[in-house]
Structure 1
Amino acid sequence: MIAEEPSPGRFERFVLSIPDGTLMRALFLGVVGLAGWVVSLDLVEAQQAGADEARMTRTTPLPLRLPSPGDQIRPYLPRSIPVGPDRGEPRLPGYDGPVDGEAMGQPMRFLREDGGDSVVAIGRIDPGTASLLEAFLQAEGEGARTLVLHSPGGSVSDAIAMARTVREAGLDTRVPADGYCASACPLLLAGGVSRSAGENAWVGVHQVYAVEIPGLARDVDRSISDIQSTIADCQDLLVEMGVDPRLWIDAMRTPPQELYVLTPEELAEFALVTPPQAPAA
């Protein structure tokens, strides 16, 4: 007995009605489209990586407009400074060298103003910089009253230790007009007994991040734990120094490749700068 074949269903009739080769062409075009989409994602990622690498290694000043309330996110420059027609160069007492890439890309140096009471701290905060500051103050800090800052930041743990050294020494801190104090540098600024920032000073914060060390495997869980602990250390320092820890909320919201530049009003609101003190009678 020969069984009767059921009549094709609607979907089957639709498939049978498609001309030979159409499905293969559609499949081929789909594969090509998917490949193009993947390639485009790779290109975008490569462009972003290239832009980030250019920013990280840039040593020439970058023209940037001044921040204003609500428009405060700017690129973070770890080896240079922002410039513009409305910004000049910072005046650093006792220092007459370059203030841009050549200075920002170098480890932090300390210089004493001849016959004055200011110490200049210029350059990158590296692991071990805290010890250098302590040694400098012991050797040349007698009579110093103010630490003048111009730095792209760097090691958070060293910035915290330096802030405590500055407070123990009874020094004020100051970012000069048109100066740059970014990343971990505001933690050092917080150490001053009295704290100030000049006109158009660029004081900014961003997220704490782990630096990858070539040749060492990265433990993601350990990195996250270390970062959380460091954030807590930052907030502890701010409270200890009389600075509003709400400041660090803006830091935690800002990616490492960017900088949240504080307005003069925020600097005062968070007490990162303090009211001018009346001269002693």
Structure 2
Amino acid sequence: MGRARWLQFVGLAVVFTAAATIVATNVANVGGTSAQAGAGGQLEERKLPMRFNWVACEPNCRGWISAVGIVTADTPKDFDEFARGRQLAGSTVVLDSSGGSVNDAITMGRRWRKLGMRTTVGSTIEVATASGMQTTIAPQAYCESMCVFLLLSGNVRYVPEGAHVRVHQIWMGDRADDARAASYTAQDMMIVERDIGRLAKFTFDMGGTGDLLSLSLNVPPWENLHELSRSELQLTNLLTTEAIAELLPPLDQAPAAVAVAGLKAKAVQDRVANEAPVASDIALPVAKPTKTAEVSLPTGGQGGAAQPQR
């Protein structure tokens, strides 16, 4: 397709096969064999386009949305279909994702903020208890690259100890496998600059700080992702509470009213082909639909190279 091929910016995923053993072992300590099997399933799902599931946890809490996988051009539409007929205002989204499309993640984040969603990182698993199988959230999960900005879109944000939140630069998906050897045109650089601007505006609209952009944009795609420390989670304003109860209150507590003071959610031009463009306060060039990239191995670990497939 040459230069006319569709361009996509994706959040690269660091892959490390040892992660499967590490996560399975940690989760097994929570709930035994069943939990270990669930962890393996989560690692497989993380390689696929993002899927949404409603998880009921009565009588302990009012449930949550499990969001597992990479963000693609279809993800905003898939979320709309999932949300149809459900009262999701003020609900909690539990993320386990290696990133994905920049502009589609921004679109998703603005929708979640408008709904007053709460966000956290974790894996939904079933554990064996004395009273039977129960659904719970294991903290051993990954939120990488553009997933971090989805986490930022939550009205309330909680990152448990044991979760991994990692950042790096955005890049062109069709050249991310060997970014240093690839060639780039002036048009390519214009698109990079434009989407960094979109990401910066989104970050500040969501209440994030410039430190999040600085930490992300300092890590090129050929280096390991930078894992944010607890102090960096606070510095970037990704962490707004240390109490999981603020995200998953008991059923006898009514959901908090959706109110985002001082924020008018304005989605940038959506790249989903069947949706009408949403007006923005900045006139931006119309982008072509993105092309989905998939991760070939589970995410996690401390090293490895990104393996997007085209």
Q: Normalising by structure 1, what TM-score?
A: 0.63
Mapped partners of 2:97, 2:189: distance in 1: 26
CA deviation after TM superposition for structure 1 residue 140, in Å: 3.4
CA deviation after TM superposition for structure 1 residue 138, in Å: 2.6
1:161 to 104, 107, 114: 107
1:61 to 14, 17, 39: 17
User: More relative contact order in 1 or in 2 (CA 8 Å, sep 6+)?
Assistant: 2
CA deviation after TM superposition for structure 1 residue 96, in Å: 4.5
Matched, 1:204 2:166: yes
- Change in Cα spacing, 1:122 to 1:82, as seen in structure 2 (3 Å) is farther
- Higher normalized helix content (fraction of residues): 1
Mapped partners of 1:98, 1:275: distance in 2: 29
- Change in Cα spacing, 1:87 to 1:252, as seen in structure 2 (3 Å) is farther
SS at match of 2:108: helix
1:125 to 53, 71, 95: 71
Matched, 1:249 2:214: yes
- Change in Cα spacing, 1:62 to 1:138, as seen in structure 2 (3 Å) is same
- Change in Cα spacing, 1:266 to 1:212, as seen in structure 2 (3 Å) is same
Identity of aligned residues (%): 27
CA deviation after TM superposition for structure 1 residue 191, in Å: 0.7
1:106 to 25, 29, 48: 48
Mapped partners of 2:233, 2:193: distance in 1: 24
SS at match of 2:107: helix
Would you say the 8 A contact 1:173–1:191 is kept in 2? yes
Report the counterpart of residue 234 of structure 1 in structure 2.
199
- Change in Cα spacing, 1:57 to 1:246, as seen in structure 2 (3 Å) is closer
Would you say the 8 A contact 2:14–2:225 is kept in 1? no
In the alignment, residue 155 of structure 1 is paired with which amino acid? S
Mapped partners of 1:120, 1:269: distance in 2: 26
SS at match of 1:139: coil
Would you say the 8 A contact 2:23–2:39 is kept in 1? no
Matched, 1:194 2:140: no
Unaligned stretches of 5+ in structure 1?
1-54, 64-80
SS at match of 1:119: strand
Mapped partners of 2:197, 2:150: distance in 1: 16
SS at match of 1:181: strand
Matched, 1:149 2:95: yes
Matched, 1:270 2:236: yes
Between stretches 187-196 and 229-238, larger displacement belongs to 229-238
- Change in Cα spacing, 1:222 to 1:179, as seen in structure 2 (3 Å) is same
CA deviation after TM superposition for structure 1 residue 249, in Å: 0.9
Report the counterpart of residue 34 of structure 2 in structure 1.
none
Would you say the 8 A contact 2:89–2:116 is kept in 1? no
Report the counterpart of residue 48 of structure 1 in structure 2.
none
Q: Normalising by structure 2, what TM-score?
A: 0.57
Tell me how many residue pairs correspond in the alignment: 203
Tell which structure's C-alpha radius of gyration is larger: 1
- Change in Cα spacing, 1:198 to 1:252, as seen in structure 2 (3 Å) is same
Would you say the 8 A contact 1:149–1:173 is kept in 2? yes
Report the counterpart of residue 11 of structure 1 in structure 2.
none
Mapped partners of 1:56, 1:162: distance in 2: 19
Mapped partners of 1:192, 1:56: distance in 2: 22
Report the counterpart of residue 288 of structure 2 in structure 1.
none
In the alignment, residue 83 of structure 1 is paired with which amino acid? I
Between stretches 232-241 and 100-109, larger displacement belongs to 100-109
Unaligned stretches of 5+ in structure 2?
1-11, 32-36, 123-138, 176-181, 255-310
SS at match of 2:158: strand
Matched, 1:134 2:80: yes
Q: Deviations over 1:198-249 (max 9, x none)?
A: 1121101101101228xxx975211111111111111111100111122111
SS at match of 2:174: coil
- Change in Cα spacing, 1:236 to 1:83, as seen in structure 2 (3 Å) is farther
SS at match of 1:222: helix
RMSD across aligned C-alpha pairs, in angstroms?
3.3
